[in-house]
Structure 1
């Protein structure tokens, strides 16, 4: 069976590429599942290159689909090791894309859904500054970090009624990062489950367009305090 191909959404040929988005699907998913997110980002950021790779492993619980790491028999103890094993290939992919388009790490955003969100969050923990932004939809950390990334702004987006990845994971992560003086926002959509809901996609775009990174905010104002964090969507 041939390897599934990823998707690419590139600007018009005469447009200088200024941003890079790498979108990571959930376990058992495919790049096609993230097309609505890719199209929304493309409309909002016409000078961005948007890459949607297929998970680097075949899904081991169904005849089709891809995964970043196996979820069979997964628990709190073995999850970090599985993520760590999968990480080098993803980091290599992101760095190759940055080199391809001549973009800096600060010009890069990682966006993931569910298992893809885990990979995005852990990528900037393993390599601080790999991306300037992370959009984590319906995700969690493999393990809460000991330190917050200094060069990455993290946006947590979750459904209040998520029965697969409970919203408490996002709420705990936001509070934990805040305690570490990390740069993080959280948005929770009421009556939304484990899905890439349009309300969360729109909120993610608003965050990208309006949220000044904490490191820039503090440098400009000369203050050692944090601006207001996230809010709840209704």
Structure 2
């Protein structure tokens, strides 16, 4: 990382070692401060969480393009000449740096991908989603606020639960596009939830933040349910075999 580049905001647990990692990615033309309300809610709900808010990679100062009405602040991809046809390729170019940064944080604190959640707003949500797709073991959950994949995915991340949060009045990214993406991910056997709040636009609204905490606290990943169901079925088969004196069917697993 460039030593002259701003360091990320890092919030460590007040007591004890971190058990969870949240990496929160701000939107375009913004900075990490945009996600302070989300970070605070996470810290309150998960006292043993490490919360990291990095700056995006491209900075547009107040002069130049910004003074002429162009984009200011930090961007995950270069906003100069950005169009629909080159958006996905620019996101792909930026992903290795983001993935490396997240992996370095995980290694430093001894936290796994399963213990990691990525969150993002708008362009930051896109980066989080694409990073989780490019590196399947990077995060166990992704919180996408007002954002989507850069392009329609051909597969769903096998180890990641996706939570989408959106405003019904979003004009920048209509909720209908997110609902269509949810249906597509469902066809790909993705583990996905969507919450749409009425009378809310393209914003990180407190109502969506509250719902994100509810999802984190109450939603069990589908793979965990399937594993638990399989274990219950095996137990039932063993019990039935014990009653009848017949051997239980093989589970396909080797027990040690």
Aligned partner of 1:120 among 128, 138, 146: 128
What is the CA distance between 1:183 and its match in structure 2? 0.4
Task: Say what the alpha-carbon RMSD is for the aligned residues.
Answer: 1.6
Give the total of aligned pairs: 221
Give 2:40's aligned residue: 39
CA contact (8 A) 1:28 1:62 kept: no
SS in 2 for 1:193: coil
Give 1:62's aligned residue: 66
1:163 aligns with 2:165: no
SS in 2 for 1:143: coil
What is the CA distance between 1:72 and its match in structure 2? 4.1
What is the CA distance between 1:80 and its match in structure 2? 1.3
Deviations 1:179-217 (A, max 9, x none): 111000000000000110011001011101110001111
Q: Distance in 2 between matches of 1:112 and 1:170?
A: 15
1:10 aligns with 2:12: yes
CA contact (8 A) 1:163 1:194 kept: yes
Q: Distance in 2 between matches of 1:218 and 1:183?
A: 12
Q: Distance in 2 between matches of 1:59 and 1:101?
A: 32
Gaps of at least 5 residues in structure 2 are 232-256
Q: Distance in 1 between matches of 2:52 and 2:208?
A: 20
What are the residue-to-residue correspondences of 1:187-202 with 2, within 5 Å?
187-202=195-210
Gaps of at least 5 residues in structure 1 are 224-234
Q: Distance in 2 between matches of 1:137 and 1:20?
A: 18
Q: TM-score if structure 1 supplies the norm length? A: 0.90
Aligned partner of 1:186 among 194, 217, 229: 194
1:49 aligns with 2:50: yes
1:107 aligns with 2:109: no
Q: TM-score if structure 2 supplies the norm length? A: 0.83
SS in 2 for 1:222: helix
Q: Distance in 2 between matches of 1:115 and 1:72?
A: 15
1:24 aligns with 2:25: yes
Larger radius of gyration: 2
SS in 2 for 1:110: strand
